[in-house]
A and B are shown apart, each in its own frame.
Chain A
């Protein structure tokens, strides 16, 4: 009977050891969500070559869009110059005709930018939804790997916080912040038409509110992770020590071997954590790189157009161009906040001290 028990325990120990090799593979769900990142992570190329490859491919993809953006911005600048000619015939604010020409100018710039605004805000929104789906699939797997490494309490705390804050961020972006961006565009267009600076001030306030909301949420999330990680990490370390001692003492003869096997399993889980971390970083990059390049490029193009148009165009219209560029910047900030939330979760999970 004792021999049978020893044999069973030996087989169990072998399974634990083999588990290390089996565990270091990505779950199929993650491979389906981000196949490109999965191929790079599984290829064993490492993080940096993967990043380099993604950067090259992303740049090729975004280059075409950036060229189209340059063309459309050049056309908008030409339009601003023509509107400057119209406004020289009917100076804004002096009579009714001047006011209507000014209104037409503001409407023209906003309408011509509408295609870019719709496409890029939609792109940012889609990226945020994709990141949220990725976090919902990746974080539980990462938490499971961390829990298998011994950090049960820390993993659950981190998992709950990440999902909670990710949901809050997504809901805030979809229900409040993106509508606020459209409101910002509306106030910018209205500000280009109306006399006085009321609309500019409202727009400036909206921009600040969006920035505060994003920054505040990320700060809260990071603070929560830091505090809960410090508390939970100590509890986990104590729990693992107690478990090891209990196994070693309770199981006769092979207790020590089992304890060693368990340590090997912990190392396997750590390996999986590393693989998941590399996959996560590559997946976030593959999701965000092209939208970042496009949104950032468009933001810069509009700022440059505003600077160039300031030489020839009416002042209010150049202000409108700056505000439209800022709208791209706000969507970029929202996408970056979503990506940052996921990356902070990843980094915090990877750098967590495991007992």
Chain B
């Protein structure tokens, strides 16, 4: 709630700054974003612990849990970075950030690809 209020309150100065000094507007946006992310991470930590415990109790391998959490984090961070780049007016940087994020997600998912291939080909070998 407080984070939502912070974002709403800061929207006006950001909009004003964008007309006169776009660089400062971008810096302010980045600062607010960093603060919001830090707060979100603090709030999400106990939830993530709960999720880890739930997966652990279900007997799901730690590697798979890690893949899931890293993918979610990579998707969120990439989206935020790409939006920040678009706010700064650089579409190409946004695309680069999204490409990097996609590659990161693909790399994170490689052990899953191996596991699924083992499952599907396991019967035939």
Contacts and interface: CB of A to CB of B under 8 A. Distances in A.
B57 interface: yes
B72 A85 contact: yes
Contacts of B59: 68, 71-72, 115
Contacts of B120: 182, 185-186
Contacts of A309: none
B102 A100 contact: yes
B45 interface: no
Contacts of A95: 98
B55 A78 contact: yes
Contacts of A110: 112, 115-116, 119
Interface string A80-112: 001101110110000111011101110110111
Contact of A82 (B58, B72, B124): B72
A82 B67 CA distance: 11
Contacts of A75: 54-55, 57-58, 60
A234 B64 CA distance: 65
A89 B75 contact: yes
B67 A104 contact: yes
Interface in B80-104: 98-99, 101-102
Nearest to B57: A71
A334 to B, nearest CB: 14
* Chain B contact surface mostly: helix
B105 A104 contact: yes
B119 A96 contact: no
Interface in A180-229: 182, 185-186, 189
**Size category of the binding interface on chain A:** 35 or more
Given A74-B54, A104-B67, A108-B67, A97 B78 contact: yes
Contacts of A104: 67, 71, 105-106, 108-109, 112
A114 B108 CA distance: 18
A101 B68 contact: no
B79 interface: yes
Interface in A33-79: 68, 71-72, 74-75, 78-79
Given A89-B76, A118-B119, A71 B113 contact: no
B112 A108 contact: yes
Nearest to A174: B123
A96 B57 CA distance: 34
Contacts of B76: 85-86, 89
A178 interface: yes
Contact of A86 (B71, B106, B119): B71
Nearest to B64: A112
B31 interface: no
Q: Which 3 A-B pairs have the closest CB atoms?
A: A75-B58, A107-B112, A111-B115
